[in-house]
Amino acid sequence: METTSTSNPTIGKPKRKSYVPKLTSTLSQEISDHTGIILEGYQSDELAGKISDLIFFPLYVLKWIGYSILGMIGLDIALIYFEDAWTMIIIYLTLGMALALINGLLVGMLVLIWRIRSDVQAIMRLSLELTAQVMDDYRKKSTKGKVALAFQQVFRAVVFVVIVPLATQSIAKRLPVMGGIFSRIFVGIIGLTVKKSNQLVETAYLKEPQNLPETQSTASEMEAEELRSETSHKIERGFSKVIGVSTRIVALPIWLIFGLVLTLSILLLSMFNAILG
């Protein structure tokens, strides 16, 4: 499995902003106390660049939110196009435009949450690679005083201590206006995915050649490669399902707000038509 090179994992670097600071601090301290490894030391410009290359959704924010807002405003105007009571039209346009703006923003966010799924899946793959590297670094250290580490435990720490701060930093740089909102959405989806992926990440760890049971480690290189490939496909499908569930959970409040604002828009239009009627 390809890993990300780092300079010195035991030397701390300046911390990036985290949207889950208490969790990040707790996980970092836990790994440091148990292993002596400072996870912040794995943050590097190379890793930051790789993460930035994996996050595509900021490229579509203005496009999809802009299209959604224009579509809602266009619909708002079309609904009153044939009316001739200009006073009421101005009142409706003022209120209707505000609701259309909110609805357009919400629709754009829902589209982008759907688009974020592939970015999260790529980040999960990178997190698995980095976790395997951390485990390998720990394995190479002196065995004196070593404690058993669960791969899931290290994976969760790597995601929130190393990956999430770099990812949110990249999003904030590319989205100066709405970076905070989408960073929180992104972190929310990642958090739910990590929580529901314990079995998947353990399977990923066990598929590595050095971690195979002795009965399998003697298999031919071709058989081992086939096993890794098959397991990799299962993990990809598993992550896809978990991320799908996570995005739906994160999107649910936005759907509820969208439904409420849409209902208000319909009520406003009904009241407008009743007055003119």
pTM reported for the whole predicted model: 0.72
Per-residue confidence (pLDDT) for residue 206, from 0 to 100: 59
* Residue 185 · residue 193 · CB < 8 Å: no
| Residue 10: inside a domain | no
Choose among 84, 68, 107: nearest CA to 276: 84
Residue ranges of the chain whose pLDDT lies below 70: 1-21, 76, 79-89, 91-93, 142-149, 199, 201-233, 273, 275-277
What are 51-88's pLDDT values in tens digits? 998 888 888 877 788 888 788 777 767 766 655 556 66
* Residue 240 · residue 121 · CB < 8 Å: yes
| Residue 2: inside a domain | no
What are 85-111's pLDDT values in tens digits? 566 667 666 777 788 888 888 888 888
| Residue 14: inside a domain | no
| Residue 7: inside a domain | no
| Residue 153: inside a domain | yes
| Residue 119: inside a domain | yes
How many whole angstroms separate alpha carbon 116 and alpha carbon 250?
Answer: 11
Phi, psi angles (nearest 5°) of residue 199? -65, -35
Per-residue confidence (pLDDT) for residue 1, from 0 to 100: 42
Question: Which residues, including other chains, have CB under 8 Å from residue 81's CB and lie 6 or more apart?
Answer: none
| Residue 4: inside a domain | no
Count of domains for the chain: 1
Residue 164's domain comprises 21-276
| Residue 149: inside a domain | yes
Per-residue confidence (pLDDT) for residue 13, from 0 to 100: 44
